[in-house]
Structure 1
Amino acid sequence: MTDPIRIPDDLKPVDGRFGSGPSKVRPEGVEALARVATTFLGTSHRQKTVKDEVARLRRGIGEFFGLPDGYEVIISNGGTSAFWETATFGLIREKAQFAEFGEFGAKFVKAVTDAPFLADPTVHKAPGGGAAYLRAEAGVDTYASVQNETSTGVAVPVKRVTGADPGALLLTDATSGGGSLDVDLTETDVYYLAPQKAFGSDGGLWIALMSPAAIDRAYKIKESGRYIPQFLDLVTAIEQSRLEQTYNTPALATVFLAAEQVDWMNAQGGLAWAAKRSAESAAAIYGWADRSAVATPFITDPALRSNAVATIDFADGVDAAAIAKVLRANGIVDTEPYRKLGRNQLRVALYPTVDPADVEALTRCIDFVVDRL
């Protein structure tokens, strides 16, 4: 039996959490939560104590993204998976078009395809590692794409569809891109995300930045008489958010930690700072992979490489799963690839919470492990 590989402490990152979601939660946020535990946790979400935190989160998100006039920050329960169903019931009138280039885009496609009250969507697909794009199509009232595909590490710009029918909406899945990648919100109608990635909290919420046109669409669909399950009622989510609360009881710790993270990022310089910090981490890991004899970026087109989530392939004969196992045994965790992608690779979160110096340290640790496997 061989001795386990021990990575020297002076090579290790200060914080060894590189998960793509749930992501690293800042210790300072946990400490802040502990300080208010007896007055906040276990209290009613209909009372001022909790509503103030929901308001803080909504206000901070709006400041962080530079919310355009008329746009609103809407918060509800269930995470991105719940939002896909909510949008299926409450935002698509008849026909949608999708750009699908990974597992997360495919899940929204399935929700819409399965809906008996909607037409079959048009779907533009690209294989893992590539990107698919939307294009104008008569009769499409809702377009949907992913800003950052968490499963593959492909990122694309957020841009309205030129030539789309008047009134057509664009929905942008920013689950893992929001907070790490730059965006002009006027280029989309719904920019939706979850707090367990760049916003350094836990899961269980969805957050959507909605244009006036999207809000108007939600009300018109509800007024049409379409059956909408109460939990997935977007108008309810809108109206409850305006009251600084959610329809169902939220996870209070999730709300507080997300609000702490947003305030921290705003204090550092907001989205411009966060995007720059993620870009520095991306430069560190992609630069290392480009120089490596055994590793290479999975995304061959540099223009598509995500600054939020990096995927790194390894050469035949170098077992990425073994690398991840050794890293985990040394306190460097969650570098395993997306399970369904099935590649010999590591996946590394580059969210603003992650220090670029820790990403540099991770690359040194990988080299150390590879030399000894």
Structure 2
Amino acid sequence: MTNKIFFTPGPSELYPTVPAHMQSAMENKIGSISHRSQQFKDIYAHAVAGLRQLLQLPDNYEVLFLSSANEIWERAIQNLVQEESFHLVNGSFSKRFHEISGELGKKAGKYEVPFGTGFVPAEVAIPDGAELVALIHNETSSGVCMPAEEVAAYRAKAPADALIFVDAVSALPHPAFDYSQVDSVYFSVQKCFGLPAGLGAWLLNERCIAKAEALQAAGVTIGSYHTIPAMLSKAKANQTQETPNVLNLYLLGKVVEDMNKRGIDTIREETEAKARLIYDYLERSENFEIAVQEPAHRSPTTIVANTKLPASEINKLLSPFDMAVGSGYGNNKESQIRIANFPAHSLSQVQALIYKLESLGV
């Protein structure tokens, strides 16, 4: 058994109540039930209802569960783009979504800024032919965050029939999106929801559904087993197309229930308070430098710092104290660290991490 606290950006620290819910799941043999049973339908409905409450999701939104956010990228392009998509790119994950569209044979346009840099809406020109506009709210690789209120600016600039997609993989449930300005938001559970990897949630509105149905009716191939109409027909019956990650779906419903008991306002306030502590420490540290220069674009949930000491050395120093931070992403593996600030991380744990880093002289 390990007591290590994982401040890694995903997989990350498990939500504190997960062990108890896991024990309950084992006692009730949740992993053995049929995904066509009433018991599973109840599990599915419970998770969806909890997410609707936590995220304050409007009634015109549906919730689909897939294997990961990566899969959602592919399904989105297959189902909703006949010819052209447009992507804001400022890091490795937004870049990968753009690449996937091209790999699927679409005309994939992009507006790209340097790694670690945010966007200025007034400088972005969205093509008239864009059917899907991919925004990156929280770039997990670089720690850049798009203020939630800026999403509306891209809705205003986009073609009237374009679909606005928001990557909130490492941010939700923190951002308070105006869902009337967005057509789809998606996330994975191994980050802010404090669960094991293997489940992605796709939130999409009636405009996405109508577009997929229109393309299908026109004879355009939008996939096979995972078309939006097919997945939606099962979702409305509280089911999935294939046998899903039943255990993770069960745990998601339980954790979301726990989060709703805390209240979304409390979760947001705690996230912002912990982020301030971490950024304040980085500003006074002699070893670290905040990687995102513009304060308005600094992520409150995935905090990235340049480091003089290699990231691996920092984790060696932290290891005897049962703590781990994330290394930088890709080419920045050793030159940066990433500190996750998720609902699973308590204020006292964040304070302990800062205290230990300071006492170690880093």
TM-score, normalised relative to structure 1: 0.89
Matching of residue 256 in structure 1 with residue 250 in structure 2: yes
State the 1:108 CA deviation: 0.9
Equivalent position of 1:216 in the other structure: 210
1:237-290 deviation per Cα after TM superposition (whole angstroms, max 9, x unaligned): 2222111121111122211221121111111112x2222221111101100011
The 5 Å alignment of 1:155-174 reads: 155-158=145-148, 159-160=151-152, 161=154, 162-174=156-168
Which of the numbers 41, 48, 69 marks the counterpart of 1:80?
69
Post-superposition CA distance 1:61-114 (Å, at most 9, x none): 111111123122222x22011111101100123211110011111111111111
SS of equivalent to 1:358: helix
Deviations 1:163-211 (A, max 9, x none): 3222111011111111123322222100111111111112222212212
**1:320 alignment counterpart:** 311
For 2:313, give the aligned amino acid. Answer: A
Mapped partners of 2:331, 2:225: distance in 1 = 29
Taking the aligned partners of 1:72 and 1:94, their CA distance within structure 2 comes to 25
Say which of 265, 286, 290 aligns to 1:293.
286
Q: CA deviation at 1:340?
A: 3.7
Which shifted more, 194-203 or 362-371?
362-371
1:289–1:296 CA contact under 8 A, matched in 2: yes
Q: How far apart in 2 are the matches of 1:69 and 1:78?
A: 24
The 3-state SS of whatever aligns with 1:333 is strand
Q: What pairs up with 1:139-154 in 2 under 5 angstroms?
A: 139-154=129-144
Q: Contact between 1:82 and 1:232, CA under 8 Å: does it hold in 2?
A: no
Counterpart position of 2:185: 191
User: Counterpart in 2 of 1:111?
Assistant: 100
Which whole-Å CA distance do the structure 2 matches of 1:232 and 1:107 have between them?
21
1:34-45 matches, cutoff 5 A: 34-39=23-28, 40-45=30-35
Choose from 257, 277, 288 the match for 1:284: 277
- Equivalent position SS for 1:370: coil
**1:5 counterpart residue number:** none
Alpha-carbon displacement from aligned partner over 1:126-159 (angstroms, at most 9, x marks no partner): 1111024553321212111111000111000241
> Are the structure 2 counterparts of residues 273 and 27 from structure 1 closer, same or farther at C-alpha, using a change threshold of 3 Å?
closer
* Structure 2 CA distance for aligned equivalents of residues 89 and 140 of structure 1: 15
SS at match of 1:144: strand
* Aligned-residue CA RMSD (Å): 1.8
Q: Is the 8 A contact 1:324 1:346 kept in 2?
A: no
Aligned to 1:124: 111
Residue 23 of structure 1 deviates from its aligned partner by 1.8
Q: Give the aligned residue type for 2:115.
A: G
1:25 aligns with 2:17: no
**Which amino acid is the alignment partner of residue 139 of structure 1?**
G
Deviates more, 1:97-106 or 1:243-252: 243-252
Amino acid at match of 1:124: Y
Give the corresponding residue for 1:10.
none
SS of alignment partner, residue 311 of structure 1: strand
Q: Unpaired runs of 5+ in structure 1?
A: 1-13
- Cross-structure match for 2:125: 135
Structure 1 position 345 matched with structure 2 position 336 = yes
Q: Secondary structure at the match of 2:133?
A: strand
1:274 aligns with 2:264: no
Give the TM-score taking structure 2 as reference length.
Answer: 0.92
- Pair 1:328–1:219, CA change in 2 (3 A): farther
Residues 294-352 of structure 1: CA deviation (Å, up to 9, x unaligned): 2221111111110110012223xx33320112213431124322234345222111111
The answer (yes or no) to whether the contact 1:151–1:341 under 8 Å persists in 2 is: no
Distance in 1 (CA, whole Å) between partners of 2:17 and 2:103 is 43
Alpha-carbon separation, structure 2, partners of 1:139 and 1:345: 38
Give the whole-Å Cα distance in 2 for the aligned partners of 1:38 and 1:320. Answer: 40
- CA change 1:288–1:35 in 2 (3 A) is same
Amino acid at match of 2:322: G
Structure 2 unpaired stretches of 5+: none
Shift of 1:224: 2.4
SS at match of 1:113: helix
Q: What count of residue pairs does the alignment treat as equivalent?
A: 352
